[in-house]
Amino acid sequence: MESNFIVHKDYVRIQHTKDSLYLTDTDIPHKNGFLPGIQSNLTPYTIWIIEKYRPSYPNIQKQDYTNTEIWPGDLIIIKSLKSYTALTSYSQNTSLVTKQGEMLLQNLYDSAGEQIFVIQTEARNYNQVKIVNVKDCHALHSHLNKYKNTKDIYEVTSFKNRDENDLWQIIPVSNEELQTLNINKVERQIQPRIYKYIHHMDLVVIRNALTGGTLHSHEIFYGHGNKSQEVTWRQSVARDNNDWWQILSQEQGATLVNNFPNLSMIALLHQTTRQKLTHIKDSRVKSKDYLEVCCAQTNQSEFQLEAINMGIQDLTCLITEYPFRIKHIPTGQYIAALPRQSSKTTHQGEIGLQPKPDQNTIWLVEQVDSIFD
């Protein structure tokens, strides 16, 4: 292996950690696509292309991610080298062998997230990761159950629950092997990630690093707690107006040129409803459950940014696509994307305050709309 990192449009193998078998394009037609599987032999069918993905925004130019390193929490598309079809999660369908959710290889299309995945791992280490679909939250999964009428090719599924069969290792293919396949070598030099500084009063879309869902609110109210405006994380990659927040510095006398150094106190104003992100004291999602996060009219200074060290020298302020946590100072807890459905809406997950800074408390600014653009 030539490097311990991967870049946009890298060629990789994806090895099932438990069984040491490799994700493969079986070339077996099924419905309107092909079946993925795992096998022991290394062939061109076990080579995949990983692309960094960002949802499209009207009137905002897509970024060029050439040679950009892929980090945990990034959204990705995984395509077969042989067929150029993409992994696609159809959790509402049942798989052929074990009747779990269905995973297929299909032509790339403008989906609501069926072909978009997020890498779940605690650090920039791809020896043991989970690859989870952002629309249905099902994991890429395999086990030693063979497809019928095949020789040593095992089923790959879309799996709702979590177990050791969800773990994979992502291994860059050597440039020597790529040359034997007449593929241009990959320049695996770490390039600075393309980023923009975030300023006081900028509009931002904030994405969760574990789920790939956006911090979201709308004119729907909780049926519990203080019955305030609901806050969720939204699963669809088709972003909408309710995903936008205005980020405000709580520093006295802040102006439009102010950045957000680590440990800055911030407020988040929801753009559609003009309500601020808050926690109303002791309100809970359910009795003896997580503390509730809502939107309401408030002037309290409650939230603090906590940057996560990713090894970028001289970086002192919040930028796009850089991980951070949002700490609620009065309680000492973190805004978290909870692993369950929202109580009031469909296809959205629940937000709460959580004391432990797990991966579901990591966020990043996916998009910014600024007067400095």
Q: Residue 110: is its pLDDT beyond 90? A: no
Average pLDDT of 284-298? 87
CB 26 within 8 A of CB 33: no
Query: Which tens digits make up the pLDDT trace of 46-67?
Result: 999 999 999 988 888 888 888 8
The reported pLDDT for the residue numbered 2 is: 47
Task: List Cβ neighbours of 90 (8 Å cut-off, separation of 6 or more).
Answer: 101, 102, 103, 104, 114, 158
Q: Sign of torsion, CA 9 78 140 359?
A: positive
Q: Residue 273: is its pLDDT beyond 60? A: yes
Q: CA-CA distance, 36 to 86, in Å (whole number)? A: 10
CA atoms within 13 A on the CB side of 137: 20
The pTM assigned to this predicted structure is 0.93
User: Could you count the other beta carbons within 10 Å of the beta carbon of residue 192?
Assistant: 9
Query: Which tens digits make up the pLDDT trace of 214-244?
Result: 999 999 888 776 788 999 999 888 899 999 9
Task: Say which residue, 185 or 373, is predicted with more confidence.
Answer: 185
Q: CA-CA distance, 207 to 134, in Å (whole number)? A: 11
pLDDT tier for residue 1 given thresholds of 50, 70 and 90: very low
Q: CA-CA distance, 107 to 16, in Å (whole number)? A: 24
Q: Which has the closest alpha carbon to 264: 344, 329, 332, 361? A: 329
Q: CA-CA distance, 372 to 202, in Å (whole number)? A: 9
pLDDT tier for residue 283 given thresholds of 50, 70 and 90: confident
CB 318 within 8 A of CB 260: yes
